[in-house]
Amino acid sequence: MYNITLIPGDGIGPEVSEAAKHVVDATGLNINWETVNAGEKVFQDTGVLVPEKVFQSIEKNKIVLKGPITTPIGSGFRSINVMLRKKYDLYSNVRPVRSLPGINTPFKGIDLVIFRENTEGLYAGIEQELPDGSCEAVKRVSRNASIRIAEAAFEYAKKNNKKKVTVAHKANIMKLADGLFLNCVREVSQAYPDIALQEVIVDNMCMQLVMNPNQFEVIVTMNLYGDLLSDLCAGLVGGLGLVPGANIGKDISIFEAVHGSAPDIAGKNLANPIALILSSAMMLNHMGETDKAEAIIKAVTKTIYEDKVLTCDLGGKATTNEITKAIIKNII
């Protein structure tokens, strides 16, 4: 039996995490889900953003499936997502972006993975207002964090027979901060002579991605660029409802979709649960349950391609519950 921490989160989080939980259970794995919650809703109810039992559960179980958590814009509390990534040193944010059969998009056959540095950069949260009323935000970049995300990307490329890793940076302007990151990636690449390193300035990267995304296999980049490129890439394959993700550290890993809490559709049974369901497949792979992970991916593919059960974001009419039931039916 596995013990897994489930954090439903805010907005559409409870709907999609319930769906993902049922799909994982349908694979026949014996899982004890320990449900604890954090975020805006918990704060409204209890006055605490992250109850102590959330940390206790994460530290005990080490594997977490998490729905999105709302972060106030421009003021209010700082991101709980960023806090968890930093607290548990979940340095590698892995986001596979793949075309799924049956989803109508301008590009076919996209198969790339983004490795986003997850603990520093502009997300370090070092901001201050200066006496003249202007504000500054510090971009922190360390050799240690840059080397380990580069290693994660190259190791992934090696294990999966990829021929090229692309680093997206802005070292022409931020010569020290982005320059350090780029130099670390170059250094790591030396140990992988069979894998080419392509260096692309991040603005050009955006253009390349929307013109010819099939040229990319593995992308390694800094925290904020990774955040932006992830949503861009999600758009290439059909939207945020489809793209999974994982935050991997040494001992603890948190699996969550790329998307946020989608307050515009929350509580309406409209959310596409596939992104979190595919995140749960990443989780099972991480746990060594590769057959079960494959069963989930096949069930999702059959549901959208053969059965044509699609949620509104994909041009269909199925509710969250209906597509979840259809996926469960296809698990063999």
> Which residues contact ligand NAD by CB under 6 A?
12, 16, 68-71, 81, 240-241, 256, 259-265, 271-272, 275, 313
With CB atoms as reference, the residue minimizing the distance to ligand NAD is 260
Residue 121 three-state SS: strand
Question: Is residue 45 among the annotated active site residues?
Answer: no
The whole-angstrom separation of Cα 324 and Cα 20 is 8
Q: Is 227 a catalytic residue?
A: yes
Catalytic residue among 139, 227, 292, 313: 227
Residue 19: C-alpha distances to residues 67, 138, 139, 265, 324 (Å): 11, 39, 38, 16, 6
203 part of the active site: yes
Smallest gap from residue 37 Cβ to ligand NAD (A)? 13
Query: How near is the Cβ of 293 to ligand NAD at its closest, in Å?
Result: 20
How do beta strands 246-248 and 92-98 pair? antiparallel
Chain-centre distance of CA 11, in angstroms? Answer: 17
Q: Give the nearest distance from C-beta 157 to ligand NAD in angstroms.
A: 25
Please name which of 165, 28, 159, 142 lies closest in space to residue 89, comparing C-alpha atoms: 142
Nearest CA-CA partner of 153 in 116, 111, 110: 116
Query: In whole angstroms, how close is the CB of 310 to ligand NAD at the nearest point?
Result: 11
| Catalytic member of 41, 139, 162, 170 | 170
Catalytic one among 123, 139, 162, 225? 123
Does the CA dihedral 23-24-26-31 come out positive or negative?
A: negative
Q: In the complex with ligand NAD, which residue's Cβ is closer, 171 or 258?
A: 258
Answer yes or no: 170 catalytic: yes
In terms of CB distance, is 162 or 259 closer to ligand NAD? 259
Task: Dig out the tokens for 285 from the structure.
Answer: 């792979």
Nearer to ligand NAD, 81 or 119 (CB): 81
**Which residue, 14 or 241, is less far from ligand NAD as judged by CB?**
241
CB nearer to ligand NAD: pick between 182 and 258: 258
> Which single residue is written with the structure tokens 């992104």?
275
DSSP-derived pairing of the beta strands 92-98 and 111-117: antiparallel
Quick one: how far is CA 211 from the chain centroid? 23
Both tokens assigned to 205: 């990267």
Residue tagged active-site, from 203, 250, 268, 308: 203
Smallest distance, ligand NAD to C-beta of residue 89, A: 17
Supply the residues annotated as catalytic.
Answer: 123, 170, 203, 227
